[in-house]
Amino acid sequence: MGEQVLRQAEDLVQKTDVRTLNALHIASAVMIQGASGLTIPFITSDAEQREAAQVTGLTVIWVD
């Protein structure tokens, strides 16, 4: 896991109510999307994770 992912996850934890592991998942998705140039949907059924992912600008798909 790269330093950029850890920094982004730390920022998310400070800005939102997301838990650490969820923040790492979101930060990884942001970094992969940025590196690939693709729009990758972030799929979750966790409300806190959904809200935090939306803050980053990820396209979020909510699963019940």
Q: Could you tell me the residue range of the domain that residue 31 belongs to?
A: 3-62
If one counts the domains in the chain, the total is 1
- Distance, in Å, from the CA atom of 33 to the CA atom of 38, rounded to the nearest integer, reads 6
Other Cβ atoms closer than 10 A to 9: 24
Distances (CA, A) of 58 to 31, 62: 11, 12
**For 15-30, how does the pLDDT look when each residue is reduced to its tens digit (9 = 90+)?**
998 999 999 999 999 9
pLDDT exceeds cutoff 90 at 1: no
Query: Which pLDDT belongs to residue 17?
Result: 87
